[in-house]
Chains A and B, each alone.
Chain A
Amino acid sequence: MAERTWKTIENGPHSLDDFLHPISKKNYGQWRYHERPRPGVLKHVAWSGDVLFTVRAATHRQVTVDIVRRLCDLADKYADGYLRWTIRNNVEFMTPNEANVEPLIRDLAAIGHPVGGTGPSVSAIAHTQGWLHCDIPAIDASGVAKSIMDALFHDFAHEEMPNRVRLSTSCCEINCGGQADIAVVVQHTRPPRINHEILANVCEMPSTVARCPVAAIRPTTVNGKPSLMVVEEKCIYCGACFGACPAMEINHPEHSKLAVWVGGKNSNARSKPTNMKLVAHGLPNNPPRWPEVTDVLKRILGAYKAGGRDWERLGEWIERIGWRRFFEETGLAFDKSMIDNYRHARVSLNQSAQIRF
C-alpha cells in the first residue's frame, strides 16, 4: 500500500460557508413570519421583504448515490444548487421563485418523492437501521417504516390532523428511533439465550454483569467453562446485556414482538414535554409488511383525527379525554403489563379519586 501523505484535518462538522442558499445567507436571523401555501410547501418572509419558498419531500432515509444525485439535479434546476434534510429524513429545496414550486413538485413526484409532512400532518418516520446494518436488531426498521407510511400516506400528503404527528420505529429496546407521538418499538418477551461455549471468549464478563439494570446477571461455570447466568425472575428482557455480549442472544424470531407507544412530545408548546406510554404490545414480528402494526397505528390515528381538537397533540388529546376513553375509542385493550412497576412507578398511578366512568 502506498504511504499515506494526507494529514488529517480534525475540524468536526463541515463548514456551512458554501452550503446556505444566498437568500438564507442574506436574511440570516432576519426572518419575519411564515405561511403554508399548500401541504408540503412553506413560505418564509424576511424583514427585508425577501421571500423563500421551501418544498419538503419524502425520502426513504436508506438512499443511494443515484437517488442523491437526482435530488442534486433538482436542486440545481430549481433551488440555485442548494438542498437540506430535516431530522425526519425529508429533503427540502428552497427557492425565492414561486414559479419553481409547482414544476419542482411535479419533478419530485416523477422520481418517486411525494411532498408533504408540513403542518398538521403525519410526518415521515424517524427510524433506525434494523436488519440492513445493525448488530442487535429484532426487526428491519426500514421495512416497518415503509409499510406504515404506505398505509398512512394520505395523512403525510394532507394537513388534516388536529396537530402534527411524529412517528418513530426502533429495532431494539434501546429505542434509537426516539420518543414520538406514536412509536413502534421492539419488545422482547424472554430472557437472553446464553451460548456458554463461546461466552468467555467473546465477552468481557464484569462489564456485561454491570450492564444489567436489575442485577440479574451472575458469573457461573458451565461444563467447566467460566460463563454467565441470568436470574430469569429478575430479568426485564431489555437486551442491554446483548449489546455488551453477543453470546447473550436476546432476539428470537417468535418471542421478539413489537409494541406501540403513544403520547411522546418534545415540543414545549402548551404542555411540557412528555414521555410516551405503552398502549399495545405482543404484536407479531411479521415481515415483510407487519400488517398487525399498521392496523394499530391506523386505529389510533383514526380516533385522534376524529376526536382531537385543533392544536392538540396526540398525548394532549388523551390527557383531555382520559386513558379510559382512549382505549375505548381505539378498541385497544388495557392490561396489567401497562401498569408500571419499575423505578418511579408511583407517579404514574392515579393518586386521586378522579375517575371517568
Chain B
Amino acid sequence: MSEQQEKKQAFELHPTPMLDHLESGPWPSFIKGFKETVTRTEKTMVRGVLDQLNYSYETKMGYWKGGVVGVHGYGAGVISRYSMISDQFPEATEFHTMRVQPAPGLHYSAKALREVCDIWEKYGSGLMSMHGQTGNLQLQGVKAENVQALFDELNQRGWDLGGAGATVRTGASCVGPARCEQACYDTLGTHGKVLSYYADLTHRPQLPYKAKFKFSGCPNDCTNSIQRADYAVIGTWKDDMQVDTAEVENFIDKKGIDYVVNNVISRCPTQAITLKGKQLEIDNRNCVRCMHCLNVMPKALSPGKERGITLLVGGKGHLKVGNMLGSVMVPFMKMETEEDIDAFIELIDKMIDYWSENGLDHERIGETIERVGVQEFLDAVGLEANIDMVAHPRDNPFFKADLTHSPEEAA
C-alpha cells in the first residue's frame, strides 16, 4: 500500500446512516457541511463527533459532560465538553467550545472573518456556530492543550471571550443606525461601550447567575430583549412622530383607502389615528410608540426627534419560575452622548450591586425583584415610582402605605 493510500484509508468517514437522512432537502444541511470539512481537513475529532452524534440519533440520548477548561486569567468563556463514551468514540474525547464576542450587530469584514477561520482551522475542528442564542461566535471543537494558543492569536486581532455561567453575558444589538430608519439611538455604539465596561464581570463569574443586555433600536425589539434580557434597552421617542404629508398621500393613492382603514387606522392599539381626507391625524399624546403604523408606512411616518431609550428589567427564559418578560424601570432616558451612556451604566451598576448582595444562587434579577418586591428594589437603586412602571395600580387590598409620598405632602 502506498503512503497516500494508507492516509486515505486512515481518514475515511465511518458510516452515519441516521445523519445521512439530514443531507437532503432545500434547507442547508449542517451534516453535509461537517462531512465536507472533515473530508478536506482529515481532522479525526470531527469524525469522532459525527460518529457520536449518529449514535445519539440512534439511542436518543446525549453523551457530553462538562469539566473545567479555560484561558489564563479568565473564569469563563470556554465551554468544556468531554465525551461520556470516549471508550466507544475515542476521537470525540475532547470537544470544547470557545465563545468569542463578535462586534455589535454581528457585522464582519470578510478579511477579519477569514483570519478567524484560518486561526480556528490551525488550532481546532473547523466547526463553528454563527451564532449562539446569546450572540457569541462559537468555535466548537478544540482540545484543552490548544485553548490558550487559540485565544492568544484571536486576542491579538481584537477578539475577546464571551461570558458563561454566573457572568454578564455577551450582548446583542439590532442592525440599528447602520441600516435601519427606525433606530432611535446608537444600539451598536452603546452595546460596545456597555459591554466593554462590564468585561471583568463577563470573564470572571462573581454574580448570582447570568446577566444579559440586549439593545434594540425601537419597540419592534428585533433582539427579543423584553423576553430574554435582564436589561432590555429599547429605543423610543418622546415628542410627536414625524409625518411626511406628501408620502401619506402617495401611500393612500397607491394602497387605497380600504387598506389604510383596515391595516393602519383600525390596528392602532390606542385608536390614536383618524383619517381626514388624504391625511392621517395623529393623537401623539395618546400614542404608545408601538411602531405598527411606522412599520406599515415607513416612508411616510418616522420616529420623533426627541429620542432616547426605555429600560425594561427582569426578562428571562424558563428556569426556574417560567418565562418572565422584562418590565419598565426607566420610561425614558437620553442615550446620545458619552455622558448619557455613563449615567446609564451608573444606574445599571446600582442594580447589579443590589442583585449581587441580595440574589440567591442561580436567581436572575427579575426573580430577585419579584421575591423582594418592586418597591424595595426601587428604593435600593434610587428610582422614583412612576405610573409607566405598571399596567395598572395594585388590586391587591393589603399594603403598607408610604405616607411620605401622600398627595398632601407632595402639595
Chain A residues packing against B (C-beta within 8 Å)? 4, 6, 8-16, 18-21, 24-25, 28-34, 44, 52, 54, 58-69, 72-73, 75-76, 81-87, 89, 91, 94, 112-114, 126-138, 140, 142-143, 146-147, 149-150, 153, 156, 173-179, 207, 210-213, 238, 240, 243-244, 246, 251, 253-254, 256, 264, 266-271, 273, 275-276, 285, 287-289, 309-311, 342-343
**How far does the alpha carbon of A20 sit from the alpha carbon of B107 in the complex, in Å?**
6
What A residues does B325 contact at CB under 8 A? 273, 275
A9 touching B28, Cβ below 8 Å: no
Contacts A8-B151, A60-B28, A287-B18 supplied; 10 other A-B pairs, CB < 8 Å: A63-B128, A69-B114, A85-B108, A126-B133, A133-B97, A135-B62, A178-B224, A211-B362, A264-B227, A289-B22
Is B61 in the interface zone, CB < 8 Å from A?
yes
Mark each residue of chain B from 336 to 370: 1 if its CB lies under 8 Å from any CB of chain A, else 0.
00000000000000000000000011100000000
What B residues does A268 contact at CB under 8 A? 219-221, 226, 234, 288-291
Is B262 in the interface zone, CB < 8 Å from A?
yes
A83 touching B64, Cβ below 8 Å: no
Contact of A285 among B24, B60, B220 (CB under 8 A): B60
Chain B residues packing against A (C-beta within 8 Å)? 18-19, 21-22, 24-30, 32-34, 36-37, 40, 49, 53, 56-57, 59-66, 71-74, 79, 81, 95, 97, 101-114, 117-118, 120-121, 126-133, 135, 140, 148, 151-152, 155-156, 158-160, 170-172, 175, 177-181, 183, 186, 188-189, 191-192, 195-200, 202-203, 219-228, 234, 262-263, 267-269, 288-292, 295-296, 298-299, 302, 317-323, 325, 360-362
What A residues does B220 contact at CB under 8 A? 267-269
**How far does the alpha carbon of A253 sit from the alpha carbon of B61 in the complex, in Å?**
6
B191 touching A13, Cβ below 8 Å: yes
Count of CB-CB pairs between chains A and B under 8 Å: 358
What A residues does B191 contact at CB under 8 A? 13
What B residues does A309 contact at CB under 8 A? 262
A87 touching B22, Cβ below 8 Å: no
What A residues does B37 contact at CB under 8 A? 64-66
A14 touching B160, Cβ below 8 Å: yes
**How far does the alpha carbon of A326 sit from the alpha carbon of B13 in the complex, in Å?**
47
A238 touching B127, Cβ below 8 Å: no
Contact of A150 among B27, B56, B61, B131 (CB under 8 A): B27
Q: Given that A63-B129, A138-B62, A311-B296 are known contacts, is A31 also in contact with B107, CB under 8 Å in the complex? A: no
**How far does the alpha carbon of A267 sit from the alpha carbon of B232 in the complex, in Å?**
12
What B residues does A10 contact at CB under 8 A? 160, 199-200, 203
B318 touching A269, Cβ below 8 Å: no
A sample of 15 inter-chain contacts (CB < 8 A) reads A6-B155, A13-B170, A15-B158, A16-B192, A28-B178, A44-B181, A52-B179, A84-B105, A114-B27, A140-B57, A142-B30, A143-B22, A173-B318, A268-B288, A287-B60
A179 touching B102, Cβ below 8 Å: no
CB distance from B75 to the nearest CB of A (A): 13
A8 touching B319, Cβ below 8 Å: no
Q: Which 4 A-B pairs have the closest CB atoms?
A: A150-B25, A253-B60, A29-B177, A72-B110
B117 touching A69, Cβ below 8 Å: yes
CB distance from B146 to the nearest CB of A (A): 11
Q: Given that A8-B72, A133-B97, A343-B321 are known contacts, is A64 also in contact with B110, CB under 8 Å in the complex? A: no
Q: Given that A16-B192, A81-B109 are known contacts, is A288 also in contact with B25, CB under 8 Å in the complex? A: no
Most A Cβ at <10 Å: residue of B26, B118, B156, B302: B26
A31 touching B179, Cβ below 8 Å: yes
What A residues does B323 contact at CB under 8 A? 175, 179, 275-276
